[in-house]
Amino acid sequence: YVQTQYAKGNVGISQFYKKDKLSVMGSYYRGAGTYFREGTDYVNYQEDQTRWISTMNRKDKNNNQNTVNFNIEYEADSLTNISLNYSGYFSPKSFGTYHVPTLIYNNQDIAESNYLTINDHHSRSINNSLSFQIDRKLNKNSSLSWINYFTGNNSRKYQNVLTYLDFVNQTPEERNFLTNNKSNIQLYSTQFDYQWKKDKFELESGVKYSFVKTNSQLDFSDNENGQFEYRPEKSNIFDYKEQNFALYSSLAYNLDKWSFKGGLRAEMTDLEGVVSEPHEINKNNYWSLFPTAYVQYTTENKQEFGFSYGKRISRPSYYWLNPAKSYYNLFSYFQGDPKLKATIIHNLNLTYSWKEWNVDLYYRKELYPSMEISFQEPSSNNLIYYFTNIEKGQAYGLSVYKNFQIKPWWNLVLSENLEHNENYFKGVDDILYKNKVWNWVSNISTSFTLDKNNDWKMEVGHNYYSPGIQGTFRISECWSAYFVMSRKFFNKRLEASFVFNDIFRTMEQKISTKYANQDNYFLDYQDTQGFTLSLKFNFGNQSVKNVKTIKKTDEQDRL
């Protein structure tokens, strides 16, 4: 049970069964609740010396969230294991009605115009995933795995947006538009992994293929001409296909106090995106190499010094590729970018560990990082939130982590990160801008064991985030304090926990953009203050909970 400004909760059951070579796990959870987010947008237009302020408090209800998981593992023989996993999520209706008032102030700070937006909407979401894995031990030194994934994701979102306009020197009027957005994603992935280990050597190699197909359709209608009409120029169909093929291998060698590991991954990507309005085809086909290297030295007194380099790729969520406009109101919308590029990331790390001290000195370079930015159009007074690539980003910093065992029953954890971060982006005036900041993230917590026999524990913590950046955005500082208590009862069969998050309601943030003629910001609070009460009762033999769960593929994380 979760209580913030509104209540939400989750109830379910998990069943485990094991007999001889067969292990089975099944679970079902039902969730319901009201979800709330407070926001206020401020936009300053230099051209006509006006200031637009919109208050949007988003309240949505979803009283039918269903999650199903089923895992089965079978030991075919002493050398072969077979695993089958299914997970499903079904939410037939999430709905809400937003009332968004907007005031427009002139250069004398007088509210001379206003409009009211009523956004009535509902959505549906279905996700089904099936994975299959075979593990075969070839001999005492080597093994082979074959893993397959099938995923289908289907969603619908409908909204009816009514706007009452009352602008200075204009006749009051009413505007109404309807949007119906449908999205369907199908994903398949298969991979073979080989592992060999003998003495001081360890070899890992594999091959992977994945294919994804998405279809998104936006139907837009409005009454701009006096009656509702379908508007093909504002509607859109987006089809996207992507294939990835990868070969990868790594070799590790341990020599007394030294440890070495090197790897190489070669990836081929072939993609095609087709936008209907305006008609556009985006194709790309490329090979990329991703090397990794790692060295560690351990001294006589167990101090560890390490160096690592890695190049990796981060592909955008399929949702961010969709160019269909998702309207907040008549003058503001969110839009994806069908030409989004994958982000290439280079990481360099120098590490040191000793007696639970962990220090990491790092450098990170990103080519074409993708993120949400905002920009305003003075000609139409539109505020647009756009998910796209910026030119590049880089950061360097120091992370320190230490676990202090003050008493057998008292523990203190300190985690600090100081980073200098830079983002380079092309502005609306086509000039390259640099956004930079020194960012400090601090996490301090202390925990107490009040009764070891009953696992009665208490934890108090504090998280601090100094000002940060994201593309064009500058993000204000915020912090939160939390409290956790947990205990077991009835011979540890009943588990109870209480969590109080954001105790002082200090997680509101200000996200601002200011350069050239761009001057806007929004205040955002995601209803983080609240408490969570959890109860779990364990029946039967708890030792059978060892059914293997197949790890998700990277493509599933992009849904």
Give the model confidence (pLDDT) of 268-303 as tens digits. Answer: 999 999 999 888 999 999 999 999 999 999 999 999
The CA distance from 373 to 473, in Å, is 7
Predicted structure pTM score: 0.92
Pick the residue with more confidence: 385 or 550? 385
- The CA distance from 257 to 248, in Å, is 27
For 368-386, what is the mean pLDDT? 93
Can you give the pLDDT at residue 446?
Answer: 98
As a whole number, the mean pLDDT across the chain is: 95
pLDDT of residue 542 exceeding 70, the answer is no
| Residues β-bridged to residue 392 | 367, 424
Q: How confident is the model at residue 540 (pLDDT cuts 50, 70, 90)?
A: confident
**What's the number of domains the chain is made of?**
1
Distance from C-alpha of 147 to C-alpha of 70, rounded to nearest angstrom: 17
Give the closest residue to 164 by CA, choosing from 220, 118, 222: 118
For the stretch 409-468, pLDDT in tens is 999 999 999 999 999 999 999 999 999 999 999 999 999 999 999 999 999 999 999 999
Cα(229)–Cα(241) distance, integer angstroms: 31
Give percent above pLDDT 70 in the chain: 99
User: What's the pLDDT band for 224 if we cut at 50, 70, 90?
Assistant: confident
152 is written with which tokens?
């289908």
Total residues found in the chain within this entry? 559
Regarding beta strands 332-335 and 382-389, do their DSSP bridges make them parallel or antiparallel, or are they unpaired? Answer: parallel
- State the CATH number of the domain containing residue 512: 2.40.170.20
Q: Give me 108's structure tokens.
A: 């004398």
**pLDDT classification of 551: cutoffs 50, 70, 90:** confident
pLDDT, tens only, 196-222:
999 999 999 999 999 999 999 999 999
Nearest Cα neighbor of 311 from 254, 360, 262, 353 is 262
Given the DSSP bridges, would you call strands 229-230 and 258-276 parallel, antiparallel or unpaired? Answer: unpaired
The string of pLDDT tens digits covering residues 107-140 is 999 999 999 999 999 999 999 999 999 999 999 9
C-alpha distances (whole Å) from 299 to each of 3, 199, 342, 353, 526 are 51, 21, 40, 11, 47
* Nearest-angstrom CA–CA distance, 445 and 109: 46
Query: 378: which strand partners?
Result: none
Question: What pLDDT score was predicted for residue 543?
Answer: 62
What is the reported pLDDT for 294? 98
557: pLDDT strictly greater than 90:
no
Is pLDDT of 250 > 70? yes
d(CA 7, CA 189): 38
pLDDT tens string 147-175: 999 999 999 999 999 999 999 999 999 99
Q: Examine the pLDDT at 545 and tell me if it is beyond 80.
A: no
Domain that holds residue 546: 2-558
Peptide bond preceding 92 in cis form (omega within 30 of 0): no
User: Is the predicted pLDDT of residue 548 greater than 80, yes or no?
Assistant: no
**For position 137, what pLDDT does the model report?**
96
Q: What is the pLDDT of residue 544?
A: 57
Phi and psi (nearest 5°) for 542?
-80, -10
Q: What are phi and psi of 554, to 5 degrees?
A: -60, -35
Range in 19-33, 82-96, 533-547 with the lowest mean pLDDT: 533-547
Residue 97: is its pLDDT beyond 70?
Answer: yes
* Residue 90 confidence (pLDDT): 98
Nearest to 202 by CA among 146, 246, 141, 144: 141
